[in-house]
Amino acid sequence: MHFIIPIVFAVIVGLVSYLVSVTQTKRTLATQSKPLNNPALEKHFMRLAHALDLKRLHVNIYEIDPVNGLAAPDGQIYITRGFLDRFNNGEVSAAEMSSVIAHELGHVALGHTKRRMIDFSGQNAVRTVLTVTLNRFIPFIGPWIANMAVNMVAAGMSRKDEFEADSYATALMIKAGLGVAPQKSLFTKLNKLTANSGSAPAWFLSHPKTIDRIKAIEANEIRWTGFIS
């Protein structure tokens, strides 16, 4: 019985923390973003829209320097100013940018952004149970082990979401007639574009290793088209 109270409390704290985070994110995006207005990109994005039987895709520019794309909790799609600058500089092609949008659409379509509230609350509950239990047997070190274990599980769940969004993007890029090559070529550029050292162990990374993502994409490409581009 004494375990139930902290677990319930942890779930509540997780829910509240997630909702606060969502509210802050919405506020930040509302004040630091604007609709994309780039004819060259819009032309490519329209191909994705038509493949989804939509009139057009609404993509926004998030005015920050890091190279990234994101799907907000409300389903809005964003690319950062840093990413757009790389396109304008010729470092990234319009088709490669389309693969980013396709990936973020995958997160929305597969319910990843909405599921994070449940995941976050569950992780808080598990962290609390492990912390209380381990602290009885190995004080001080127990909570650290519990936190590390939950972080590893969370990272694994995040990597699964990324693979699923990659798969969705591959299917959409093929259907849109853009092919898989832009998706793979962008991944080969990501480390340089994001200045990612890749020094953290794979099981702690929230995103899979580039080589593993490309292998998964090519496996799907063979399954759906019969060849590798």
Residue 210 lies in a domain: yes
Helix (H, G, I), strand (E, B) or coil at 111: coil
The pTM of this model reads 0.80
For every residue of 201-216, DSSP letters joined together read -GGG-SS--HHHHHHH
Q: Give pLDDT, residue 199.
A: 46
Work out how many domains the chain is built from and give that number: 1
Q: 97: domain range?
A: 4-33+93-225
Read off the pLDDT of each residue in 56-77 and give the average, rounded to a whole number: 92
Q: Which two tokens stand for residue 97?
A: 């940018």
Most confident of 20-24, 180-184, 192-196: 180-184
- Give dist(CA 155, CA 189) in Å, integer: 22
Q: Is the pLDDT of residue 2 over 60?
A: no
For every residue of 67-100, DSSP letters joined together read --EEE-TTS-EEEEHHHHHHHHTTSS-HHHHHHH
Residue 167 lies in a domain: yes
Read off the pLDDT of each residue in 133-138 and give the average, rounded to a whole number: 70
Q: Give pLDDT, residue 227.
A: 85
- The pLDDT > 70 percentage for the chain reads 74
Q: What is the pLDDT of residues 109-118, one digit of tens each?
A: 998 877 666 5
Residue 87 lies in a domain: no
Nearest to 76 by CA among 113, 23, 117: 113
- Give dist(CA 9, CA 84) in Å, integer: 43
Residue 75 lies in a domain: no
Read off the pLDDT of each residue in 180-184 and give the average, rounded to a whole number: 97
What mean pLDDT, rounded, does the chain reach?
A: 83
Nearest to 95 by CA among 188, 179, 162, 38: 179
- Residue spans of beta strands (DSSP E) within the chain: 33-35, 59-62, 69-71, 77-80
Residue 191 and residue 198 in contact, taking contact as beta carbons nearer than 8 Å: yes
Q: Give pLDDT, residue 117.
A: 60
Q: Is the pLDDT of residue 121 over 80?
A: no
Q: Is residue 171 very low, low, confident or very high in pLDDT (cuts 50, 70, 90)?
A: very high
Residue 173 lies in a domain: yes
